[in-house]
Structure formats: C-alpha cells, structure tokens
C-alpha cells in the first residue's frame, strides 16, 4: 500500500501559487480572451414572457443587419416557455452592436399565458397557475421517519419550535458562463469557462451528434463556477451551432443579467423545526417540514444537485426523527449544484434550532453541541476553536450585551465527503535537460490545482515546485475529474504521486541511476540522450480518503438603532486529511467563509410577481461581501497525514451563515430566522419596524 512521505519539504507547507505571475500580469487566458482567427460575437435572444407558447420565430430581419453572419433558433416549431429569460434564438456578428440590433430585429410570435407564479407560497396553493401543465407545482412529499416521534417529544425536558428560511441564492462568479467555439472540418474546439472539460466535450458531442474524438474542450483559466458550470450548457451548444453556420469561431459569453435568469441558483428553504432534548441535553426528538423552490426543475431535481431537499437533521444523530420535504415549481430558471448543495440551508436550520433549544434550557450552546455531535474530530475542533476564539470570555446569555451596539457570538459545524476519483490519470514527460512536464485532463477553477500538482511532483522528485511545468485544462490530456464535490485535490494528488514514482522507476531502468531524486536529477536526465521519457500514472488507493468537516465561531456587532450587522471575527477549525499546500487550503477556507457571510447577510434573488423577471441581476443590486466587509479570519487546520488527501472546498462554506445567525441572536436576545439578516429584519425582530415577509420574492 503506497504512503505519503513522513518528512516533507513542500507538502503541508506554504507554497505560493505557481500561476500567480500569469494572473497578476494579465497573461492568463480565460474563455473571453481567446482571439481565434476571424472570430465573431455571439448573443442570445431570451423570452420576455415567464409563461408562453412560441408559435413562430422569423430570423430573416436579423440576417439583414450589416455584420451579422448567422442566426439560429434554439428549437424549431411550436414550444412552451416556462420562465423569463429562457433561450429562444441566437446570432453571431462582427460587432456587439450588430448583434444587439439583430436581436431586436428578430420577430417572435407568441401566445402569452394569462398567469404564472414566481413565489413559493403562492405556487403551493391548489388554484395556483401550473408551471407544468400535467403535474402540480408541488412534488410528492419526501418523508423520512424513524422512532416514535410523538411519544419522544412527550419525554423531553425541553422542546423548541422555530421557523427558519433561506432565500434563492445566485452563483455570481466573477466570470460569466460562456465559450469561444470553433467548428471546422476537423471538428469542434471549445475554449470554455467550465468546471468540467470532459463534461463539456461529452455534452457538445451529444448535442451536435459528433464523435467524442472530434470535440476538444480547453479551459486554461476560469473565473469561478461554484457548481453552476458543468457541461456545455445551452449557451455552449448555441456557440457551436453559430460557428458552424457562420463558418467562423464564435465567442458567446453571457451577460450578468443572463446569469441571474438562466444558469442556476441555490434553492430556497422554509424549515419549520421542532426539536427536543432530555434534561441532560441529549437530543431526543426532531421534526421538520421543509419546502423550497428549484425553479422549473422541482419535479426532476435531486438533493445531490439542484433539488429542494436538504439533509436533516444535518450532522446530529437523533433517535426519533420525522422529516417531510417538498419541492415547489415556479416560473424561474432551474437550480443547479451550488457549493455544498443542500448543506448551508440545512446547517442554518439545525444550528439555529439548537441555539434556540439551548436558550430554552439555560444551557451554553457550545456544551449542547459537545454533548450531541457524533464526530470525535469535530468535538476536538470545537474545543480547540473555543480556546482560540475565547468563547468562555465572550459568551453571554442571549441579549446580555449592554449598550446600543450589542455584541454576540455563535458557532456551527459541518461535514462533507471530499473523496477522489479512481479514474484520474496523468502523464509525465522527463526531458534530457531535466525539465519536467505533467499533463492532466483536469481544470484549475481558481482553487490552486496547478500548484497542488507541482507541490506533489516536487516532493516526489526532489525538485522545486517552480521547476515543474503543469499542463491542465485540455481534453487531449489523460482523463481527469470534474471540479465538484471537493474531489479535485484528492483525485490529482494520488495520481501525481503514482506518475512520479513510475517516472523514477523508469528513469532508473533507462539510465542505471539508483536514486535520481534531488541532486542526482539533472545528471540522471542527461543520460536519456535525445529521447524524452514519457510515463503514465493513475489514481492509487490508500493516498486519499473521504469524510471531512470543521467548525466555525463568529463574533458580531449589531447596531440596534440601524439594524446593521458587522462581522468582527471568524475562527475556523477544519480538517482535510493530509494538507498538500497549507496556503491554498487556507485560501479555500477564507473564500468559503466570505461566501457564507454573503448568504447570511446580503444575498437574495428578488423576483417581480408582475413580470416574472429577476429584479436584482447585477453587482449593484445583488449584494455581495466586499473587502471592507471581510472580518478578521483565523484559520486553524488539523493536519492528518494518516488519512490521506481530502477536499476542503465545500465544508468551509457550510457553517458560516449558521454561526453568524446564532451570533446575531445571541447579541439581540431574539432570533432573526430568515436569511439574509438585513437591517430591516433586525429592526423588525426588535419591534421597531413592521416585520418583513419571510419569502424569496
């Protein structure tokens, strides 16, 4: 069984990103930077109706616009539209203005439906307009039950009931969805902004009816995805079809407005939770009714991707449980996977309920967690984090902070999988001059995958990370995984370990040098003559594992006159098995916490009931944390080499909103149970303004 080296020079240390110079200098090429010969702009015409039947689309006026080279429909014949922004047609032209003029020129004949629905509560009603003609807006309830719940609540010393809601959240990566696609006689090449080059290739091949060998997907760099950028998408297929029609490469990057409408979101949740404990604080009964909307996808979405179901009770083991969950279809774009699908809303619900139960019992909420968390590692993290954070000194009974600006603290935990893909492969080329090139068909979505590959290779070969040339993001390289589920690091690290071991063994065979590592490297490579050494490697069992998590503590200030919440400090303690690059691991946690802050305090998709349009489709009106909002973040990593490499991207964002929400409740002495925790909701909870409606509209 292979094992990681016990003494390391680079693994588990701080290593700067090897691609930093390209990014800061502007040399890094993203999908929108590709300037293929004779390229054209591509744009999409979207429906202005949230519900309608399209009877005819006339492209001829668009084709007469100067500079327009191609115009196509998404689908021929009559079709049904179910949300504002659904794709109707697309054009390719020499300038942006020509494309905009062409979109306005396209003639669309439609029969708008007399009614539609974009609000979950309205959509649940029996007489609500149906999103899908042949089925109700609500899915068949998913019910999970074990134990005797009704009897168990009667046996509890304390029972708490609460209503906790989370809104629809938009991905809003810095780089929008899109591709530059070239379709020639040789096949299709797509420079895509994607988390999965293989899924883009496969999606294009299927939609265009081409052999996989005739489709190539490339992602040199990409500016964020958070789960929404798997597959080619409608926009990728349209770019390819436009390229074929125009006989020229087409760059089709979505606008920020498009992003808000049609390329995914995190579903809402409306959780009514009842929870009870024995006198010693042991959880004894749990009941939850939850509904939420994944847009038009309520009937088909799943909890693992974009569904409305959430794991409950999240993390905690309760002997008597009853959970009922329903998805609600509305006339809005479908949900997609979003960093730790289902877990952030699940965490907010259960952790809020736990704090409310602790308040009812007069118990320290940290002690309640230590009593009931089944994970020995997480209990250890709570104790370590509490000491570093100063929980004993900072915790006061809810509402116990004096003055107008009140302080409060809260905490929460997370768990995730984070295992690797056994199908990952790699190729290493060792040149006679000693230079090393590693090739993997994986993409670096900004998390530092290139650096992780270089760190492992440098450790194995006795070189420096900057001496390793890493090539990723191309389906012509050996196959790798999509970047989702926190699986990338645990996939590539064992694979690079194997290919480097194979390279050392083959180098010894070719040159006779028993140990070519480190100081012997260049002398050994010279013995290769003029022929480089090319070797293959694959994922190896025993170098990675699954199952990770962590805990976070939050300290906030709440101005009771303005309702403004300011996060002052976050202490995060996380485990991810063997830490490959400490610097990029900490960066992942920082990013996850900041994303969780957005979920807690700022982010919410706002829909217009009268038009079905998203009212806040840009960075001005859809609020995100900026650098001035970022608090003091103290990251503590538990290094566990014996567990192998485990991903950390998703567990880092799960408990942040819950910890912040609990800190606000601790400061005020009353719960704001609806995310985002805006000033208006804080003032309403204090009885200073009318209570806002807890809804995603």
pLDDT in tens, 537-576: 999 999 999 999 999 999 999 999 999 999 999 999 999 9
Predicted confidence (pLDDT) per residue in 414-458, tens digit: 999 999 999 999 999 999 999 999 999 999 999 999 999 999 999
What's residue 203's pLDDT? Answer: 97
The answer to whether position 23 is within a domain reads no
Predicted confidence (pLDDT) per residue in 68-94, tens digit: 999 999 999 999 999 999 999 999 999
Instruction: State the average pLDDT over residues 216-244.
Output: 97
* Of 517, 538, 559, the domain-final residue: 538
Predicted confidence (pLDDT) per residue in 456-509, tens digit: 999 999 999 999 999 999 999 999 999 999 999 999 999 999 999 999 999 999
The answer to whether position 122 is within a domain reads no
Cα dist from 250 to 38, 73, 141, 232, 561, whole Å? 9, 16, 45, 14, 53
What's residue 306's pLDDT? Answer: 52
The answer to whether position 155 is within a domain reads no
The answer to whether position 476 is within a domain reads yes
The answer to whether position 327 is within a domain reads yes
117: confidence class by pLDDT, cuts 50, 70, 90:
very high
Q: Are residues 291 and 366 in the same domain?
A: yes
DSSP one-letter code for 691: P
The answer to whether position 1 is within a domain reads no
What's residue 302's pLDDT? Answer: 36
What's residue 660's pLDDT? Answer: 99
Tokens 């302080």 correspond to 407
Mean pLDDT, the chain, whole residue set: 96
Q: Are 527 and 512 in contact (CB under 8 A)?
A: yes
Predicted confidence (pLDDT) per residue in 149-187, tens digit: 999 999 999 999 999 999 999 999 999 999 999 999 999
297: confidence class by pLDDT, cuts 50, 70, 90:
confident
Q: Are residues 275 and 196 in the same domain?
A: no
Q: Are residues 194 and 325 in the same domain?
A: no
Q: What are the structure tokens assigned to 362, written together?
A: 């007069």
| Domain extent at residue 331 | 269-418+545-685
How many domains is the chain built from? 3
Quick check: 300 pLDDT over 60?
no
- Number of Cβ atoms within 10 Å of the Cβ of 688: 12
Cis peptide before 313, with omega less than 30 degrees from 0?
yes
Instruction: Give the SS3 label for residue 136.
Output: coil
Q: Are residues 458 and 523 in the same domain?
A: yes
Q: What is the CATH number of the domain that holds 469?
A: 3.30.365.10
Q: Are residues 598 and 675 in the same domain?
A: yes
Quick check: 106 pLDDT over 80?
yes
The answer to whether position 246 is within a domain reads yes
What's residue 697's pLDDT? Answer: 45
Q: Are residues 512 and 553 in the same domain?
A: no
Higher pLDDT residue, 691 or 299?
A: 691
* Of 253, 284, 300, the domain-final residue: 253
Helices 656-668 + 343-361 axis angle, to 10:
30
CA 195 distance to own-chain centroid: 10
Closest CA to 36 of 329, 243, 215, 288: 243
What is the radius of gyration, based on Cα positions, of the chain?
Answer: 27
What's residue 308's pLDDT? Answer: 87
Q: Are residues 52 and 184 in the same domain?
A: yes
Q: How far, in Å, CA of 28 to CA of 396, rounded?
A: 50
The answer to whether position 372 is within a domain reads yes
Quick check: 696 pLDDT over 50?
no
* Of 229, 253, 277, the domain-final residue: 253
Tokens 């327009």 correspond to 68
Q: Are residues 426 and 405 in the same domain?
A: no
Q: Are residues 284 and 234 in the same domain?
A: no
1: confidence class by pLDDT, cuts 50, 70, 90:
confident
Quick check: 303 pLDDT over 60?
no
Q: Are residues 223 and 297 in the same domain?
A: no
Closest CA to 324 of 119, 140, 126, 164: 140
Q: Are residues 588 and 655 in the same domain?
A: yes
Q: How far, in Å, CA of 370 to CA of 140, rounded?
A: 36
Tokens 């071991």 correspond to 501
Q: Are residues 524 and 551 in the same domain?
A: no
694: confidence class by pLDDT, cuts 50, 70, 90:
low
Closest CA to 92 of 58, 132, 43: 43
pTM of model > 0.85: yes
What's residue 307's pLDDT? Answer: 73
Predicted confidence (pLDDT) per residue in 588-640, tens digit: 999 999 999 999 999 999 999 999 999 999 999 999 999 999 999 999 999 99
């Amino acid at each position: 069984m292979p094992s990681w080296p016990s003494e390391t020079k680079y693994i588990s240390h701080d290593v700067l990103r090897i691609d930093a110079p390209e990014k800061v200098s502007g040399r890094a090429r993203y999908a929108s930077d590709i300037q293929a010969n004779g390229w054209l702009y591509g744009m999409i015409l979207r429906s202005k109706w949230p519900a309608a039947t399209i009877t005819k689309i006339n492209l001829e006026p668009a084709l007469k616009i100067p500079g327009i080279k191609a115009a196509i429909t998404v689908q021929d014949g009559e079709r049904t539209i179910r949300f504002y922004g659904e794709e109707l047609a697309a054009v390719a032209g020499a300038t942006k203005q020509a494309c905009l003029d062409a979109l306005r020129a396209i003639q669309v004949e439609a029969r708008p439906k007399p009614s539609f629905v974009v609000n979950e509560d309205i959509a649940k009603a029996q007489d609500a307009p149906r999103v899908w003609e042949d089925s109700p807006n609500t899915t068949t309830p998913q019910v999970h039950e074990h134990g005797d719940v009704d009897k168990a609540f009667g046996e509890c010393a304390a029972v708490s009931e609460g209503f906790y809601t989370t809104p629809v959240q938009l991905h809003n990566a810095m780089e929008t969805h899109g591709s530059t696609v070239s379709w020639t006689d040789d096949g299709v090449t797509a420079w895509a902004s994607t988390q999965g080059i293989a899924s883009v290739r496969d999606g294009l091949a299927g939609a265009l009816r081409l052999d996989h060998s005739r489709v190539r997907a490339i992602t040199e760099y990409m500016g964020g995805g958070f789960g929404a950028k798997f597959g080619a998408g409608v926009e990728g297929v349209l770019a390819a079809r436009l390229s074929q029609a125009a006989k020229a490469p087409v760059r089709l990057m979505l606008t920020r407005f498009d992003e808000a409408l049609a390329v995914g979101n995190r579903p809402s949740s409306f959780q009514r939770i009842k929870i009870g404990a024995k006198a010693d604080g042991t959880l004894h009964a749990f009941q939850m009714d939850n509904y939420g909307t994944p847009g038009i996808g309520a009937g088909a979405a799943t909890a693992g991707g974009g569904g409305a179901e959430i794991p409950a009770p999240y993390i905690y083991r309760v002997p008597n449980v009853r959970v009922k969950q329903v998805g609600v279809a509305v006339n809005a774009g479908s949900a997609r996977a979003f960093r730790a699908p289902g877990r952030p809303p699940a965490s907010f619900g259960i952790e809020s309920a736990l704090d409310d139960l602790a308040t009812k019992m007069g118990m320290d909420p940290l002690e309640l967690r230590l009593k009931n968390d089944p994970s020995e590692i997480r209990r250890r993290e709570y104790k370590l984090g509490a000491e570093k954070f100063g929980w004993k000194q900072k915790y006061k009974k809810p509402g116990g902070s004096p003055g107008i600006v009140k302080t409060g603290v809260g905490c929460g935990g997370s768990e995730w999988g984070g295992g690797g893909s056994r199908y990952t492969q790699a190729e290493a080329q060792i040149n006679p001059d000693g230079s090393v090139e590693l090739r993997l068909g994986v993409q670096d979505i900004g998390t530092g995958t290139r650096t992780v590959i270089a760190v492992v290779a440098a450790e194995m070969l006795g070189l420096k990370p900057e001496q390793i040339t890493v090539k990723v993001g191309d389906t012509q390289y050996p196959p790798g995984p999509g970047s989702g589920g926190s699986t990338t690091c645990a996939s590539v690290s064992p694979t690079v370990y194997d290919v480097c071991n194979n390279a050392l063994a083959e180098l010894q065979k070719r040159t006779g040098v028993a140990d070519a590592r480190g100081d012997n490297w260049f002398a050994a490579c010279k013995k290769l003559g003029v022929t480089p050494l090319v070797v293959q490697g694959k994922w190896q069992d025993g170098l990675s594992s699954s199952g990770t998590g962590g805990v976070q503590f939050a300290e906030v200030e709440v101005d009771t006159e303005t309702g403004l919440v300011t996060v002052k400090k976050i202490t995060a303690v996380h485990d991810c098995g063997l830490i490959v690059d400490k610097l990029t691991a900490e960066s992942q946690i920082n990013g996850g916490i900041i994303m969780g802050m957005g979920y807690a305090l700022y982010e919410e998709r706002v829909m217009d009931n009268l038009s079905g349009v998203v009212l806040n489709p840009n960075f001005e009106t859809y609020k995100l944390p900026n650098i001035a909002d970022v608090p003091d973040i103290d990251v503590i990593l538990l290094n566990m080499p014996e567990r192998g490499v485990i991903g950390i991207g998703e567990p880092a964002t799960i408990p942040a909103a819950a910890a912040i929400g609990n800190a606000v409740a601790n400061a005020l002495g009353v719960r704001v149970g609806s995310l985002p925790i805006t000033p208006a909701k804080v003032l309403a909870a204090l009885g200073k303004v009318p209570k806002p409606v807890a809804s995603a509209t």
